[in-house]
Homo-oligomer: A and B are copies of this chain.
Amino acid sequence: MKLTEDTVCEKNLYKGKVIELYLQKVRLSNGKCSDREIVKHPGGVAIIAFKDKETILMVEQYRKPLERVLIELPAGKIELGERTEECGKRELEEETGYKAREFTYLGKIATSPGFCNEYIYFYKAEDLYKGKLDRDEDEFINIKEVKINDIKEMIIKGIIIDAKTISAFMYL
C-alpha cells in the first residue's frame, strides 16, 4: 500500500526560542485530505560518557513539562549550522565539564514521530579529561556517576524513564 502523504499547504502558527508549530493540510494515499499538527525542533545530541570502564556520567535536571526531576544522559539541542559531533562535544563539556579524546557515533532516534521532527543523535565519549563547565543561564543540573551495570535495573524500576537515555543503551 502507498503510504506517503503530500503537503497541500502549510501554515506557521508559532516560531519560538526552541520549537516552531505548523498546521499542514495533507493529501492521503486515498486522495482525501487531512490535517497534521507538526512541531519542528532543531534536534539534539546525547552522549554516553565513560568516566572509567564501568562508570558513566548522567545529569539530574528538572523537566518543567513533566513537573519532575529526571535522570538523563548529558544532551542538548543542535545549534544553527552545527554538526552533530560538534554539538555533542560542546554539550558534554558545558554540562559535565569534561572533554573526550575518543568520540564515536552510535546511531539516531526519532523521539515523537507522530507530531514532531526531532532526531536525537548518540555518541560514545571515552578517555575523558577536564574541560570547563559552562551551562546555559537557565540550566540547573546535578551530575551523577552511575555504574553501567546498574542502568538496566534503573530502567526496570522506573528510575530512568527518559526515552533517549533508554534508547541509547540499545546501541552499546
Contacts and interface: CB of A to CB of B under 8 A. Distances in A.
A131 interface: no
Interface in A117-162: 117-120, 137-138, 140-142, 152, 155-156, 158, 161-162
Provide the main secondary structure of the chain A interface. Answer: mixed
A61 interface: yes
Q: How large is the interface on A (under 10, 10 to 19, 20 to 34, 35 or more residues)?
A: 35 or more
A117 to B, nearest CB: 4
B64 A36 contact: yes
24 contacts: A3-B61, A3-B140, A3-B142, A4-B69, A7-B64, A19-B37, A21-B21, A29-B140, A30-B140, A38-B64, A39-B39, A41-B115, A44-B114, A63-B113, A65-B117, A66-B117, A77-B114, A109-B162, A111-B112, A112-B118, A116-B116, A119-B161, A155-B170, A155-B171
